[in-house]
Amino acid sequence: MSSPKHFLDIADLDTATLSSILSSARAMKDRRKGLPKGLREAGEPLKGRMLALIFERPSTRTRVSFEVGMRQLGGETLVLTANDMQLGRGETIADTARVLSRYVDAIMIRAARHSNLTELAAAASVPVINGLTDLTHPCQVMADVMTLEEHAGPLKDLTVSWVGDGNNVAASWIQAVGMLGGRLRIAAPAELAPAPGVMDWARARGADVRLTTSPEEAVRGADCVITDAWVSMHDTDAASRHNLLQPYQVNARLMRHAKPDARFMHCLPAHRGEEVTDEVMDSASSLVFDEAENRLHIQKSILLHCLGA
């Protein structure tokens, strides 16, 4: 039996496949312009397919965009909260994967630990999709790349600046630039720099990814400035993160170091007044709600890729 087509991380796919997922998402988005959100795609390519969504952490965008996307493709979803499953009482991830594989055609998991995702994928006989772990958030960054390219052209020609915590979203951005091209400038305090593993991977690929502790230096000449929460869902050291990240707030003063038409992105949820000011979030250059919308389009494309439809 051939192994299922998982979507675990951007670096696991080849560049041609990533590009084709992006272009199919763009085409589906274009075709739906002005149509009701509940309308199904012509031909209902995932009719009869069932997607399980496992949440070990809370979610607004990931849950709603997967549920709506699957319905638009003609399929159905089941939302499972880890604490309400036997998983929460110690049933192994591997056994859960084997059982769910008998009921559903694909599984999306928002996992508390990256190893939960990889264990699930190793034991599942159906495709598994990463809906965020402590280490990466590939669906988000695929939506981010789609959004930035809509507004600023091909990623390979752009300079993207990441300011703040070198977290899960930053790691997927490093992978995206490694696979798709472009320049990534990361400003993070030394204590919160991206994990050495992903930086080594980028270096070995010859990706144009640079790390500094200076937000001004990272933002200089950028086409887009990106940030994220100072305290992610899995973090426990909130007070020290607030102290370390205070100088990394994205505000109008910092944006002045970027190109005059530089865009701003944030995966949301945002903590206004912390990592970003209202002024930047609500400015004409902010793409945050386009990013949220594009989660829907890109994940439909990822589902079609994984389910071979």
Looking at residues 115 to 134 of the shown chain, list those that interact with ligand NVA (rule: CB under 6 A). 132
Site for ligand NVA (CB under 6 A): which residue of 52, 128, 160, 229?
229
For the sheet with 208-212, list strands across it: 208-212, 183-187, 159-163, 224-227, 263-266
When asked if residue 267 is in the footprint of ligand CP (CB under 6 A), the reply is yes
The count of chain residues that interact with ligand NVA, using the rule CB under 6 A, is 9
When asked if residue 152 is in the footprint of ligand CP (CB under 6 A), the reply is no
Cβ-closest position to ligand NVA: 232
Separation of alpha carbons 219 and 93, rounded Å: 41
Helix (H, G, I), strand (E, B) or coil at 193: coil
Q: Which stretch binds ligand NVA (CB under 6 A): 74-82, 193-201, 228-236, 249-257?
A: 228-236
Roughly how many angstroms between the first and final C-alpha of the chain, as a whole number? 18
**What residue 285 binds from ligand CP, ligand NVA, none (CB within 5 to 8 A, per partner kind)?**
none
Retrieve residue 54's tokens. Answer: 């496992």
Task: Give the max Cα distance, the chain.
Answer: 57
Site for ligand CP (CB under 6 A): which residue of 100, 132, 207, 250?
132
Looking at residues 41 to 70 of the shown chain, list those that interact with ligand CP (rule: CB under 6 A). 59-62
Q: Is 306 a catalytic residue?
A: no
Separation of alpha carbons 46 and 41, rounded Å: 9
Separation of alpha carbons 9 and 29, rounded Å: 23
Q: Is 144 a catalytic residue?
A: no
Separation of alpha carbons 128 and 90, rounded Å: 21
What DSSP state is assigned to residue 195?
Answer: P
When asked if residue 169 is in the footprint of ligand NVA (CB under 6 A), the reply is yes
Site for ligand NVA (CB under 6 A): which residue of 72, 96, 167, 277?
167
When asked if residue 232 is in the footprint of ligand NVA (CB under 6 A), the reply is yes
Contacts of 64 (CB under 8 A, 6+ apart): none
**What residue 77 binds from ligand NVA, ligand CP, none (CB within 5 to 8 A, per partner kind)?**
none
DSSP bridge pairs for 272? 276
Q: Which residue has the tokens 């070990």?
A: 56
**What residue 60 binds from ligand NVA, ligand CP, none (CB within 5 to 8 A, per partner kind)?**
ligand CP
Task: Return the number of the residue (167 or 175) whose C-beta is nearest ligand NVA.
Answer: 167
With vertex at residue 307, the alpha carbon angle to CA 306 and CA 308, rounded to the nearest 5 degrees, is 95
The residue annotated as part of the active site, out of 110, 114, 257, 297, is 110
Retrieve residue 5's tokens. Answer: 């087509």
Active site residues: 110, 137, 140, 228, 267, 295
The residue ranges that bind ligand CP (CB under 6 A) are 59-62, 132, 140, 267-268
The residue ranges that bind ligand NVA (CB under 6 A) are 132, 167-169, 228-229, 232-233, 267
